[in-house]
Every structure is written in C-alpha cells, then in structure tokens.
Chains A and B, each alone.
Chain A
Amino acid sequence: AQSVTQLGSHVSVSEGALVLLRCNYSSSVPPYLFWYVQYPNQGLQLLLKYTTGATLVKGINGFEAEFKKSETSFHLTKPSAHMSDAAEYFCAVSVTGGGSYIPTFGRGTSLIVHP
C-alpha cells in the first residue's frame, strides 16, 4: 500500500521568500503524485501533478515540484511567496493495480506568509 508523509504541519515564511513544502512517498510501483491547495472554507484545488515524463512539473500560481525517485520525494517550491499563498497544502499519491486505485493524501502543511 502507498503512503505519503508531509514534513512539518506548519511552514512560516516572509512575503517574497522561497517556499519549500516537503513530501515523501512510499510505493512499490511507479506512483502518480499530486499537490492540492485548500483555501479556508473551500474544497481542494489541484496545483500540479506528476504522471510520467519530465520530472520537474510546473503548476498554477508559480508553484513547481520535482519528482526524485531516488529520494522518493515530490517537494513543492515557489521562488517568492505571496500573501495569497497562505493556505493548506496536501500531497497525494495514486497507483494503478487491481482494477481500482485509492488516492492517498498526506496530513497537510499549513503555509503561513508574513508581511
């Protein structure tokens, strides 16, 4: 069974600083990896996803993530934080097999952006 670990339940940065949210996964087969963002009182919204091919994935709002198989990681980065980036971020993994799949989400990381 696959699993996801997000390091740090809260990450605090200053506006304009680099954002780095960490995600490590465990899977016995090639994974599909996702980052979702959840703003207060809203549903989850896809930021980006890795399926196959290029390991550096660019998403919306200036975010990107790099799939590193050797490190089983899929960390999310943004060069310069904006106040509007303050939200909860979830890493998720899905794998094929058995005719169905169960997307597995991490516990989430709350991003706090200071002026």
Chain B
Amino acid sequence: EAGVAQSPRYKIIEKRQSVAFWCNPISGHATLYWYQQILGQGPKLLIQFQNNGVVDDSQLPKDRFSAERLKGVDSTLKIQPAKLEDSAVYLCASSSLGLVAETQYFGPGTRLLVL
C-alpha cells in the first residue's frame, strides 16, 4: 500500500513570495490533515478535511494560508505572501474515517525555508 505522498520535499523562497505544497493521501482515506512543524516544536494542525469539506480550520492563518481538496482526494496548501516565520516543515497526514482515536499516516513533509 502506497503511503502519503508530498511534493516538493524542499523549497526555498524569499519573503513575500508565494508557495504551494501538494499532498496525495493513502487511497481511500476520507480524512486529510495539514500540519505545520516549526523547528523544536511538535506538529500543529492547520486544517482538517473530510472528503472535500473542511472539518476544522481554526488554526489556519487565513490572511495568508489557503488549502483545498476539490475532488476529495489530493490537496494543496498555499502560502501567499510568505513571511520569515513560515519557515517550517509542512506535514500532510491522512486517516480512513477521521475518528478521534484513529491512526493518522504521515507523509515525509515539505521543508520550507523563507529568506
């Protein structure tokens, strides 16, 4: 079974530029999560999708971050414009049904450096 795929693996941009990350979850998984992991900290949930609908985006900085999952499968996360403090690893995860105690399967992450 293929795992969660993410691309690109690394990205370096200058502040005020825009950037987009892509995630393809495990086949058949209804729930998709985007996390931000700043160096030295644990992952922080940005947004959770159930199929193509948003379940929770309360921690997503909506003035600059956006995410979509149009067909209920893969997803993109965009930052526009980027700030220095957005430098982090962006992790995508998926789970089968999105239940509270369900195992999440994580991708390798996209490491973003904003200069």
Q: Could you list which residues of chain A lie within 8 angstroms of chain B, going by C-beta atoms?
A: 4, 9, 32, 36, 41-46, 49, 51, 90, 92, 94-96, 100-103, 105-108
Closest partner residue, chain B, to A98 (CB atom)? B56
Q: 6 shortest A-B CB distances, which residue pairs?
A: A105-B42, A43-B106, A44-B106, A32-B101, A51-B101, A100-B56
**Interface of chain A: mostly helix, strand, loop or mixed:** loop
Question: A100-B48, A102-B59 given as contacts; is B104 within 8 A of A90 (CB)?
Answer: no
Contact call B100/A95, Cβ cutoff below 8 A? yes
Question: In the complex, what distance in Å separates the CA atom of A48 from the CA atom of B103?
Answer: 9
- Residues on B with C-beta less than 8 A from A42 are 108
Number of residues of chain B lying within 8 A (CB) of chain A: 23
User: What is the total of A-B residue contacts with beta carbons within 8 Å?
Assistant: 55
Question: In the complex, what distance in Å separates the CA atom of A52 from the CA atom of B80?
Answer: 42
Interface residue from B41, B43, B100, B108 paired with A32 (Cβ < 8 Å): B100
Task: Show 30 residue pairs from A and B whose CB-CB distance is below 8 angstroms, ordered by the A residue.
Answer: A32-B100, A32-B101, A43-B3, A43-B4, A43-B107, A43-B108, A43-B109, A44-B43, A44-B104, A45-B106, A46-B103, A49-B101, A49-B103, A51-B101, A90-B42, A94-B100, A94-B101, A100-B55, A100-B56, A102-B45, A102-B48, A102-B58, A102-B59, A103-B45, A103-B104, A105-B43, A105-B44, A106-B42, A107-B42, A108-B41
A51 to chain B, nearest CB (A): 4
